[in-house]
Structure formats: C-alpha cells, structure tokens
C-alpha cells in the first residue's frame, strides 16, 4: 500500500507567511474527540458535525521550540477570537499535534494589545501531547473561570516551554470555514538558535490566516 | 505510530488561500438520494479542503511533469441510478477543461467507461465550487459493485493542470483511489507507465454521487 502526503509542491503557493506543516495519514490512527459537556460555546471552529474530522490533521501552522530539529527559529503561534457577550471561560481545546522533540508545550490565553497578544490571563503547562492523526485535542481548564468581556478580542497562544526547547508541534487547521480568514500572530525569536527572524526578531507579527488553526473556548454566560 | 513529513511530491500540490474567495457550492440535489458522498454539507464554507489536493495534469502541462489522472472508488450499497456527480476540481493553469468519467471496476482499478462528461470552464473558486455533471436518464449501478469516478485531461486540454481536493468529513478512514501516470510526453519515468495504480489513503478525495433512487 502506498501513501502520499498532501504536501507543498511544485504547483503551489503557501497559504500564509508561516510555513504549512504536512504529514501523511496513518491508518486507524484515531482517537475519538472528548464528548461535549454542558458548557456554552464561546468560540469554536472544531468541526463537531463530523467526529472523524473535527480538524484537518494533515496541515497546520508549526509551533517550534528554540532548539528544534528543523533548524528554524523559535515560533509561537497565536489565534484571535472576539467575544460577543460577557462570558466566563472554563475550558479550552486546541488541535495541537505533536511532531517531534519533547512532548510538551504551553497553552496560554492573552488579552489583545493593538492587534497582537498582550497580557497573559492564564498559562497552562501541557505534557504528553498526542500525535494521533485525529481527533485528539489538547484540553485545558480554568475551574475558577476567566472573565471575558463582550466585544473584546483575546488570543490563544501555543508555544514551546522552557522544558521542551526542542518541541515541534503542528496546530492543525479547522474544517468548518475555508472562506473567512482569521487574525493570527506569530512570535519569532532566533535568540537561542535557528535561522534568523530578520527585523521581526522577538516581536509578534500579526496577519490573517486561512484556514484558521482549530480551537474552541467553552464556559458559562 | 509513524509519521512521515514529505516536502514535495509530484502528484500533490498546495494552492494559495485568498480571504473571501468564495463561491457557494451548487444547490444541493433536489429530490435525489445520496449514493455516496463525503462532501462537507454541514459546513457549506468548508465543503472540502481547498488548500492541497491531487494534481491532474495533461501530457503537455506547463510544469513539464507526467500526465496524471486520478480516480476515486465507491461501492454501491444498493441498485441505483446515477444522475449527478459532484467533484471538487479546482483549476490551476492551462486550458480549463477536463473529463469526468464514471467507470466500472476492473481488478481494482478503473475499467470500462460508463459515461464521459467533457467539462469546460473549470474555475478556481478556492472554496466551495464543485464540478457538477449530470445524466438525465440515469446510469444504473448494481448493489455491491465497485465504481470509479475518474478525472483526467482531455484532447482539448492537454496543457491543463487541475487539483482534486480531499474531504473534510472523515480524515481517518482511507479511501480507495487510483492514479494513472504517463511519461510518454514529459516528466520522469513512471513506475507503471500508462497504467492505473491503486492505493488507499486518508483523507479520501472528496466527491458525491447522487440519483433518484
């Protein structure tokens, strides 16, 4: 049996400034997504209508530790969402898939600052990241809740932590909207290794991405 | 569990994403039943994954690569008539024409042709247009038999390059596909020149087959 990846190739152009990471499929490499709970969906682009494709695991945005095996600089990825009413976030899910290195990362919720991640509201240390083709998600919780305010923009950030400098992850794309670009930001740093970030070193660079990395924010009204 | 990162494959391609570059899918089949479909009808702005797909190339394509056609198999669960087939084919370069065919199975690859549709003016809508072909009388399918939806270049579009996009409803289950490679005119030597090669992979190529019963 042969397998082929849907990969960057001679015909193509990359969708965003950030590189698209692709992989091949592994047959039967499937973990069912966690069952939904009785929470309000504050934001979601996880494709819950199809449990075997809640995200597209074969392509996404890379999250890189500073000493990753790819020889690339550290790269943090952030995706924005705007809250349409006051909510309290208690659970966040993100389609972060392990690729290589240490199986850990930080997931963090940030406020917005002039169109880029601003102040950290909460950081979660995540270990034992999955590399199932589908449909595991990283789930983090805030039992006491995090207040989100109507009309405000927040950022979900994924980045390598200090204990996983060689981490390589892929934040897989959503399967619900291939039309509307979503605001995202990437933080590039070549301070500890990897190729140069040029004049964008140690800065958040905001742009738009289509399709957007898949994630969901749940909570209460 | 094994993953392979493959940087560049002749038979694959990535398209550029363009915000707001949207054409709605054609109206859903009225009063037709779904014989098979992995089109994402629950999310009409993500009917398929438009960023990367299988390359379909005419023999004189601008890339100078092999002539390549792709086919996706399905098994008819009952006796049916096919009156419509939807396939997410996106234009890339060259003459915007291709052929869509429905073929019988022969030893696990596309066999005798049941019908050929010559399709003109294929566009690249990014998402979510579909090439939709119809047959008013209906093409009979027999319960338990395997059929192939085939997309290939035709004589009037020998320089064409198109992309057939994968589905976004099941990225786990492997689909049966086949590709036809020919290096008679251009490109590196094909492993099986001028023949169909079958394989399975996930995600399966997206398509839908519909009929009145």
CB atoms B63 and A10 under 8 Å = yes
With DSSP H G I counted as helix, E B as strand and the rest as coil, what are the percentages for chain A, rounded to 5?
Answer: 0, 50, 50
Beta strands A203-209 and A182-189, pairing class: antiparallel
The mean pLDDT of A102-114, rounded to a whole number, is 96
A3/B7 Cβ within 8 A = no
* CB-CB under 8 Å, A12 with B40: no
pLDDT mean over B94-101: 96
For residues A140-166, give the mean pLDDT: 96
Contact of B46 with chain A, judged by CB distance below 8 Å, is answered with yes
The CA distances from residue B136 to B77, B79, B82, B118, in Å, are 21, 17, 9, 15
Which of A178-182, A210-214, B17-21 has the least mean pLDDT? B17-21
Domain ranges of chain B: 37-204
Beta carbons of B168 and A30 less than 8 Å apart: no
- Any A CB within 8 A of B171 CB: yes
Matching CATH number, A46-220, of 3.40.190, 1.10.10, 2.60.120, 1.10.1790: 2.60.120
- Is B37-204 assigned to CATH 2.40.128? no
ipTM of the complex model: 0.80
Among residues 69-98 of chain A, which lie with CB inside 8 Å of chain B?
Answer: none
Q: How many CB pairs under 8 A join A and B?
A: 201
Q: What is the pLDDT of residue B124?
A: 87
Using the beta-carbon criterion (under 8 Å), do B169 and A53 form an inter-chain contact? yes
A8 neighbourhood in chain B, CB within 8 Å: 7-8, 14, 52
- Averaged pLDDT of chain A: 85
A168: three-class secondary structure by DSSP: strand
Predicted TM-score (pTM) of the model is 0.83
The whole-number average pLDDT for the span B36-42 is 95
A177 closest CA partner among A46, A62, A77, A81: A46
Chain A residues with CB inside 8 Å of B53's CB?
A: 6
């Amino acid at each position: 049996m042969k397998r082929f990846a849907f990969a960057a190739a001679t015909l193509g152009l990359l969708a965003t400034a950030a590189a698209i990471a692709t992989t091949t499929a592994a047959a039967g490499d499937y973990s069912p997504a966690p069952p939904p709970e009785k929470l309000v969906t504050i934001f979601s682009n996880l494709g819950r209508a199809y449990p075997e494709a809640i995200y597209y695991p074969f392509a996404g945005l890379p999250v890189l530790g500073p000493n990753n095996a790819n020889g690339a600089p550290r790269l943090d990825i952030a995706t924005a969402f705007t809250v349409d009413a006051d909510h309290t976030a208690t659970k966040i899910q993100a389609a972060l898939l392990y690729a290589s290195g240490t199986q850990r990362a930080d997931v963090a919720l940030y406020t917005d600052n002039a169109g880029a991640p601003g102040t950290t509201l909460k950081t979660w240390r995540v270990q034992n990241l999955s590399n199932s083709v589908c449909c595991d998600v990283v789930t983090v919780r805030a039992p006491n809740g995090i207040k989100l305010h109507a009309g405000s923009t927040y950022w979900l950030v994924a980045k390598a932590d200090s204990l996983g400098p060689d981490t390589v992850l892929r934040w897989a794309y959503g399967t619900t909207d291939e039309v509307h670009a979503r605001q995202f930001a990437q933080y590039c740093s070549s301070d500890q290794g990897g190729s140069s970030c040029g004049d964008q070193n140690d800065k958040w660079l905001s742009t738009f991405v289509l399709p957007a990395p898949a994630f969901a924010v749940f909570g209460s009204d | 569990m094994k993953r392979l990162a493959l940087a560049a494959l002749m038979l694959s391609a990535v398209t550029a994403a363009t915000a707001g570059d949207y054409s709605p899918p054609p109206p859903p089949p009225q009063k037709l039943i779904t014989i098979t479909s992995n089109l994402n009808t629950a999310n009409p702005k993500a009917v398929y994954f438009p960023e990367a797909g299988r390359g379909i190339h005419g023999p004189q394509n601008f890339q100078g690569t092999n002539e390549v056609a792709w086919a996706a198999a399905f098994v008819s669960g009952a006796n049916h008539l096919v009156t419509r087939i939807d396939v997410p084919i996106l234009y890339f370069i060259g003459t915007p024409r291709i052929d869509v065919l429905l073929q019988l199975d022969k030893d696990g690859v596309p066999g005798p042709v049941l019908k050929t549709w010559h399709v003109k003016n294929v566009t690249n809508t990014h998402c979510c247009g579909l090439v939709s072909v119809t047959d008013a009388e209906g093409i009979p399918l027999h319960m338990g038999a395997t059929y192939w939806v085939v997309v290939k270049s035709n004589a009037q579009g020998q320089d064409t390059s198109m992309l057939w996009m994968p589905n976004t409803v099941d990225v786990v289950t492997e689909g049966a596909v086949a590709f036809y490679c020919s290096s008679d005119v251009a490109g590196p030597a094909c492993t099986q020149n001028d023949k169909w090669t079958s394989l399975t992979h996930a995600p399966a190529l997206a398509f839908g087959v519909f009929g009145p019963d």
